[in-house]
Amino acid sequence: MRWYWIDRFVEFVRSRRCVAVKNVTLAEEHLHAHFPGHPLMPNTLVIEGVAQAGGLLVADHRQYQGNMILAKVPKAVFYFDPRPGDTLYYECRLESIRGEGAVVEATVRCGERVQGEVDIFFADAAHGPRARALFTDLDLVTMMHYLGAYEVGEDADGSPLRPPQHLQDRLSTLWLGGPGSE
Amino acid sequence: MQFCLLDRITQLEPGKAITAVKNLSLAEEYLADHFPRAPVMPGVMMLQSLVEAASWLIRAGEDFAHSLVVLREARSVKFANFVDPGKQLQLEVQLVQSQGNHYTVKGKGLVDGSTALSAKLVLWSGSLAQQDPHQAATDQFLCSRLRQQFQLLLQRSDPETSGKT
Amino acid sequence: MPDKQEIFEKVQEILCEALSVDEEEVTPEARLTADLGAESIDFLDIVFRLEKAFDIKIPRGELFPDTLLQDERYVKDGKITPEGMEELRKRMPFADLSPLEENPDVKSLQDVFTVEMICRFIEQKVAVEN
């Protein structure tokens, strides 16, 4: 099992909102255990998808500094369970943000129906008595790239979304045909 | 990867309270992505362990009358600490109330005696045949697999605790 | 401008949502930690919700003085120093500091954080910003 719970960004507006897609497929091994004979996506993994999409929205706002991680889920409500063949859309809105933490509120849709509503509270793992360095700014920007954020994303003024210059430079040495090579 | 996170049920009062454990090991492949240089148990996997403990509590309380137990709500889920590879997450869940097919529980997860996770959950328990009578065979199949898994989780108890189940 | 009752009701709703407790538990005297189960992660969540609900800004440390606790002048060996008490009186005129006056242990600071304290803070804040 890889730890990717979103597949692609279809919208990304810096510091405001993003929409990410998650395809549910029988190729995911855990569905065969959850449950045998009746595969259903666990709603805890829907929460993780929101945390990943929303977490990147928060990270991008902070220019990929710090390690904002899932600290609290004040509320997560689910109306039904996603099944193989479903495509989920996680619409995440950045509601509050400051140095110590951030709040993202999300609506999860499957077709026309609302599948869930999830609020996530992020806190910075890089500070405080139990501080840890979990991932780097380059890790975050690489994930944004994999998920197509820089293909669809825009800045607040409508210009194309780009990572900070110093990270762009390091990225283009990692992949061929990355944004730095345009 | 099998999506059954719990390793052992250590205490059970069907329909009332349950304790269980989940060991975290570097052998769990998803840790390679979470995170490459600093593997820690994803918060939602801690939560999923709690959901599973709650699910067994409910199933045992209903004597496996229903095939499906799924999460419907999670509230005030707080992650206070990390679970590192080599550590054990101890889960404690109590039933708060039940209304029809919905069960409200409160639970926590501890590592070395300190609370790492706390949450309030609402789970729904039901059968496929309730919506579609043709699914009765799937319900039976699933219930039988669940009973087997449950026995496995109970059998791994120490002899002195298995008397409490 | 909201009156005291409106402020209380909004604060009550916010604490119910943030702490997942029932309305009946959120009395004016209720202590956030001892009675309502608030943990450190909840304090910032509460601040964000108060900011949104009352359209105010609450800079870090203004409602819950966490930065003060890291200052050696104000906290030593787990006890709040006389300078610390003076600083708290200055920063938190909306709070009833008597639990600390009886026992200046840092842990007693948590008993100061009551629902009433938040309401008085909001009343003061809203009056100023209007």
Q: What are phi and psi of C72, to 5 degrees?
A: -60, -25
CB C14 within 8 A of CB C46: yes
Report helix, strand or coil for B75. Answer: strand
Closest to C41 (Cβ–Cβ): which among A71, A75, A99? A71
Residue B155 pLDDT class (50, 70, 90 cuts): confident
Half-sphere exposure of B87 (CA within 13 A, CB side): 19
Average pLDDT over every residue of B9-25 = 96
Chain B: touching chains (3 or more CB pairs < 8 Å): A, C
Chain B, nearest residue to A29 by Cα: B1
Q: Which two tokens stand for residue A108?
A: 């999860």
Chain C, nearest residue to B81 by Cα: C41
**Would you call A96 and C41 a contact, using CB atoms and an 8 Å cutoff?**
no
Phi and psi based region of residue B8 (left: phi greater than 0; alpha: psi -120 to 50; beta: remaining): beta
Domain shared by C76 and C103, yes or no = yes
Fold of the domain spanning B8-154: Thiol Ester Dehydrase; Chain A (3.10.129)
Asked if pLDDT for residue C127 goes beyond 90, the answer is no
Which DSSP category does B30 fall into?
G
Q: Which two tokens stand for residue C73?
A: 């002048």
Asked if pLDDT for residue B14 goes beyond 80, the answer is yes
Asked if pLDDT for residue B72 goes beyond 60, the answer is yes
Tell me how many domains chain C contains. 2
Domain shared by C1 and C54, yes or no = yes
Residue type, A83: R
pLDDT in tens, B73-91: 999 999 999 999 999 999 9
Q: What is the CATH number of the domain that holds C12?
A: 1.10.1200.10
pLDDT in tens, A71-128: 999 999 999 999 999 999 999 999 999 988 999 999 999 999 999 999 999 999 887 7
Asked if pLDDT for residue C80 goes beyond 50, the answer is yes
Q: What is the 3-state secondary structure (H, E, C) of chain A?
A: CCCCCCCEEEEEECCCEEEEEEECCCCCHHHHCCCCCCCCCCHHHHHHHHHHHHHHHHHHHCCCCCCEEEEEEEEEEECCCCCCCCEEEEEEEEEEECCCEEEEEEEEEECCEEEEEEEEEEEECCCCCCCCCCCCHHHHHHHHHHCCHHHHCECCCCCECCCCHHHHHHHHCCCCCCHHHC
Q: Has the ipTM of the complex gone over 0.95?
A: no
**Would you call B44 and A3 a contact, using CB atoms and an 8 Å cutoff?**
no
Spell out the domain ranges in chain A.
8-176
Contact pairs from chain B to chain C, CB under 8 Å: 11
Average pLDDT over every residue of B92-100 = 97
Report the distance separating Cα B71 and Cα B58, nearest Å: 12
CB A81 within 8 A of CB B69: no
Residue C68 pLDDT class (50, 70, 90 cuts): confident
pLDDT in tens, A33-70: 999 999 999 999 999 999 999 999 999 999 999 999 99
Fold of the domain spanning A8-176: Thiol Ester Dehydrase; Chain A (3.10.129)
Given this model, what pLDDT does residue C107 score? Answer: 85
Domain shared by C5 and C53, yes or no = yes
Spell out the domain ranges in chain B.
8-154
CB B94 within 8 A of CB B54: no
Q: What pTM was estimated for this model as a whole? A: 0.93
CA–CA min distance B51, chain C (Å): 18
Average pLDDT over every residue of B130-153 = 94
Asked if pLDDT for residue B165 goes beyond 80, the answer is no
Residue A129 pLDDT class (50, 70, 90 cuts): low
Residue A174 pLDDT class (50, 70, 90 cuts): low
Q: Indicate the average pLDDT of chain C.
A: 91
Report the distance separating Cα A96 and Cα A91, nearest Å: 16
**Would you call C45 and A95 a contact, using CB atoms and an 8 Å cutoff?**
no
Average pLDDT over every residue of B114-131 = 96
Which DSSP category does B67 fall into?
S
Instruction: Answer yes or no: B102 catalytic.
Output: no
Phi and psi based region of residue C20 (left: phi greater than 0; alpha: psi -120 to 50; beta: remaining): left
Q: Which domain holds residue C105?
A: 65-112
Domain shared by C106 and C117, yes or no = no
Average pLDDT over every residue of B119-148 = 95
Domain shared by C10 and C52, yes or no = yes
